Chain A
């Protein structure tokens, strides 16, 4: 099974929609890689434009956000925009259905953590890194600030979603089963 985790970028807002993840004007692209420079281009945090080309974004393998992540349009381009930017996990306290399904269908991880755990992560200082233990459904959140202790959280993944993530997505699953 592929490994999930790495340096995280934190998006401190609920209801981040797929138009903000990838604006519709880029939906005329017919390759996934063309979406790469435009990830989170229209995102506002605290009413201000988010710097989608910071070093944190360049290095990130994980995105952490709050409730109802990925709401709005069904565009799988939102998932692909993460994928081509090497993001392999999106963590949130809840997801919009279509976005969550699109993540699993592409074989990448949409991880729900409790609101308490999400609040703790957002209160941590330093740069955050996530290590995911898929087998045991545990995640370790580490900060670059060594004064800060690690946070251990558990998550649960439906067996079907897990099989999509481990088996390379829905097309492969459907091809094998139907």
Chain B
């Protein structure tokens, strides 16, 4: 029996097998942010173990609430800052250079095919887009990762989702993953790793692949990943050009991670997206998904465009295409947060920020902020948000608020109509 990409990554990083079902892996990168890391840092300090296993393999950012909104968030930032300095962590991103972790770290070239990656953040699965095994963990796993460079996972169980067909104009990776979560349900992939394959995935850029992998956890998956190919190599080229003579050589080398043709999958799902309409969530679970035409006309109070799911330049372009020359509907608030300073800067260069501002949007600095109801756009009771984020849980963006998850194009359509609207109408 052949091996899946995940088995290959696990086998090449195996430190220990305390039982046949539990595998302790060596980690290539440990990612840290200011919400889940400070308690780990404080515990290490208290135990006299304020060390890191390898400062070059730890990447840290202040991203969830930045700039700090109050004394408590300021203290979290301070703990991170001082810890990074003390432990010689060079890749630490503070105000001015900080951005949403799952957009920033890939942009810096930190994630490579075949890597093992953890972070104290459930959307770490985003990095699976690079053909890495990347998983969200809690603070104790993070703490051990920082200290020892290891993490334990159950022996991998993979499922394959083969995505065929081509997307209609106005339909994007977000719609695909929402439709997949609807099919799988919120625990349909629990304790599994989803391999996203097929012609549609092959044709996707890295941004779209990250959107796809980002929400694998919403179906319960340990991670989601794509096989590393030419698209991956071209994205990473500035960072790997000293390691390979040509992009072709990198593409060839990446194939060593590809799943064998006789690898074992617990489930294989084929999904044709050719007729897929734009998707939207309607309840408090990410598998409460409907076709946008079924929800058309539902009024919204706020539009939120950003996050680790859909805050990349490709996402902002998708929204701007619809917003260009238009205004926010009367009484609707618009917030856009480009996910990194690099994206922000590029959006400025491309005139996208001006389109948002002319439409009446508030342009925020890169931050996670309102996605999880922490800052910068929290909802009041009974308010409704059309959002490009990843979770619609009760209270997620503010107690008593309702979040409708959708694509950047759909959020832009909602912005100009003030109601949930089909973006395809604005793209003819």
- Residues of A at the B interface (CB closer than 8 Å) are 15, 17, 19-20, 23-25, 27-30, 32, 42, 44, 67-68, 71-76, 79, 94, 96-99, 101-102, 105-106, 158-160, 163, 169-171, 174-175, 177-178
Restricting to B332-377, which residues have a CB under 8 Å from any CB of A? 372-374
A20 and B393 form a contact (CB under 8 A): yes
User: Chain B residues near A174 (CB, 8 Å)?
Assistant: 144, 147-148, 150
Check B209 for interface membership: any CB of A closer than 8 A.
Answer: no
Q: Are B140 and A106 in contact (CB under 8 A)?
A: yes
25 contacting pairs across A/B (C-beta < 8 A): A15-B285, A23-B395, A24-B396, A25-B374, A28-B72, A28-B76, A30-B42, A30-B76, A42-B399, A67-B187, A72-B122, A72-B393, A74-B122, A75-B138, A76-B139, A94-B187, A101-B138, A102-B139, A159-B19, A170-B152, A171-B143, A174-B147, A174-B148, A175-B49, A178-B150
A101–B190 CB distance below 8 A:
no
Q: Which 8 A-B pairs have the closest CB atoms?
A: A76-B138, A102-B138, A105-B140, A68-B187, A28-B72, A42-B395, A24-B372, A74-B122
Q: Is B220 an interface residue (CB 8 A)?
A: yes
Q: Tell me the bound Cα distance from A106 to B122 in angstroms.
A: 18
Q: Check A44–B138 contact: CB distance below 8 A.
A: no
Determine if A74 and B374 form an interchain contact, defined as CB atoms under 8 angstroms apart: no
Q: Which residues of B contact A25 (CB under 8 A)?
A: 373-374
Q: Give Cα A23 to B401, complex, Å.
A: 13
A30-B39, A98-B138 known; 4 other A-B pairs, CB under 8 Å?
A: A15-B186, A28-B76, A72-B122, A101-B137
Cβ proximity bits B27-66 to A, threshold 8 Å, 1 near / 0 not: 0000000011011001100000100000000000000110
Among B36, B38, B39, contact of A74 (Cβ-Cβ < 8 Å): B36
Given A30-B72, A32-B39, A68-B220: A98 and B137 interface contact (C-beta under 8 Å): yes
Indicate whether B279 reaches chain A with its CB closer than 8 angstroms: no
Most buried by A among B70, B140, B222, B395: B140
Number of A-B contacts (CB under 8 A): 138
Residues in B with CB closer than 8 Å to A99 are: 138
B contacts with A, residue count (CB < 8 A): 55
Task: Give Cα distance in the complex from A52 to B185, angstroms.
Answer: 28
**Is B204 on the interface with A (CB-CB < 8 A)?**
no
Contact A160–B122 (Cβ < 8 Å)? no
A residues near B113, Cβ cutoff 8 Å: none
From B79, B147, B190, give the contact of A97 (CB < 8 A). B190
Residue positions of B touching A, CB distance < 8 A: 15-16, 18-19, 21-22, 24, 35-36, 38-39, 42-43, 49, 64-65, 70, 72-73, 75-76, 79, 120-122, 124, 136-141, 143-144, 147-148, 150, 152, 186-187, 190-191, 220, 222, 284-285, 372-374, 391, 393-396, 399
A79, A163, A175: the one within 8 Å of B18 (CB): A163
Chain A residue contacts of B22, Cβ below 8 A: 158, 160
* Contact, CB under 8 Å: B374 / A27: yes
In the bound complex, how far is the Cα of B121 from the Cα of A102, in angstroms?
A: 12
The answer for the CA separation of A67 and B122 in the assembled complex, in Å, is 19
